[in-house]
Structure 1
């Protein structure tokens, strides 16, 4: 239970940050200060960041830890509750490091869009369950091409 509390505390903090970002974007867009071309550029930026992150060493390291959580958990297990909580937080950070950029894609495709949430969730599942880098790199390439296309259309 303590391990799960540590893991969920990381995701709760990340959720609060993404919720605040969502509210800020919605306030900015609804105020009329953001023009349509800027929306396309902002979406392309989000897709580009997510696409480039898919090729990074940090994504690879986080994905490796997220794919094999038991090796990390068993190697660092402790009887002390605070260390168990910290271990849960560490695993939560690895998994957040694996997924944060894909969550950023939601700002380009529409926050709370059930179709895109399901598709990104399915991709994350395939990515974590598949050995090797093919899904990760393919996803990154798709995001970068999509970002470029969005920039062309927005210009």
Structure 2
């Protein structure tokens, strides 16, 4: 494996007096990887939202139901390069079951991965920032450290694997609707079941255990500190697993409201960020109660 440990330059790790003002500013950024990492993550999140917005506008213009789709229909389509247009077409367009292919599955997996980057990566920012600060401190003391992007790579790898599972579930819903639109909300009874699962999970001990791991990154990162890239990658993957443990049931809500529902995407992303920052049970319990009441009401309406 490529060694990505950061090593200070002997004798001049912090002496940039021979450089001009611009050079000193650039070198100073190099001494603190957190600026580069946070800028890269911000760019990735913004790009993911841009692509998802483009997909949401196209799905709304194709006549799919969902909150806010009436407004999206009035917006101009976001121009995309040819390969991205093909990607969007594979995700948005209704395709008969006989036409399913590996390329469509890969496109759906990438769509779910974009959703994870857009909605879940911001909630991991405190954990990533904490690790960056530890790396900066180690570098200042002249100690080697693994670049923070290795931690991010481990985290996102787990979400990529989870995206494959969600893509399979998406195809399953498409098959069950006999070639219907992928992003239409699930039928009443099915949607009620999904909302009920998501609501009940908010009260589970597993949910609470995963939240505790996500809310206390410093103690975990400091206790598991390593100069070996593979261990930091594994640490990022473990944090990704805890994150999935917090949020997998909430992702099921997207099937109930329509997968490409930009409003609910943003709402779930904001809630995931809030839930990991606010200690205690209140936020999880309130969300769980709302989902259970919603599920019960939807079930009653569907049955009667």
TM-score by length of 1: 0.91
What residue in structure 2 maps to residue 142 of structure 1? 290
What residue in structure 1 maps to residue 251 of structure 2? 103
Which has the higher Rg, Structure 1 or Structure 2?
A: 2
Query: Within 5 Å, which residues of 2 pair with 1:31-46?
Result: 31=179, 39-46=187-194
What residue in structure 1 maps to residue 170 of structure 2? 22
Stretches of structure 1 lacking an aligned partner (at least 5 in a row): 33-37
User: 1:107, 1:78 → 2: CA distance?
Assistant: 40
Is 1:82 matched with 2:230?
Answer: yes
TM-score by length of 2: 0.48
Question: Deviation of residue 27 (structure 1)?
Answer: 2.7
Runs of 4+ in 1 over 6 A off after TM superposition: none
Is 1:65 matched with 2:216?
Answer: no
Stretches of structure 2 lacking an aligned partner (at least 5 in a row): 1-148, 181-185
Render the CA deviation track for 1:90-135: whole Å, top value 9, x for unaligned.
0110111111111011111111100111111112122112121101
User: 2:221, 2:157 → 1: CA distance?
Assistant: 17
User: 2:196, 2:246 → 1: CA distance?
Assistant: 16
What residue in structure 2 maps to residue 112 of structure 1? 260
Question: Deviation of residue 68 (structure 1)?
Answer: 1.7
User: 2:278, 2:231 → 1: CA distance?
Assistant: 31
**Which SS does the other structure have where 1:123 is aligned?**
helix
User: 1:130, 1:50 → 2: CA distance?
Assistant: 20
**Which SS does the other structure have where 1:77 is aligned?**
coil
User: 1:67, 1:100 → 2: CA distance?
Assistant: 17
Quote the RMSD (CA, aligned, Å).
1.5
What residue in structure 2 maps to residue 35 of structure 1? none
What residue in structure 2 maps to residue 11 of structure 1? 159
Render the CA deviation track for 1:9-66: whole Å, top value 9, x for unaligned.
001111121122112212321447xxxxx82111111111111100001110111111
User: 1:31, 1:14 → 2: CA distance?
Assistant: 24
User: 1:70, 1:6 → 2: CA distance?
Assistant: 17
User: 1:50, 1:139 → 2: CA distance?
Assistant: 9
Considering Cα pairs closer than 8 Å and 6+ residues apart, tell me whether 1 or 2 has the greater RCO: 1
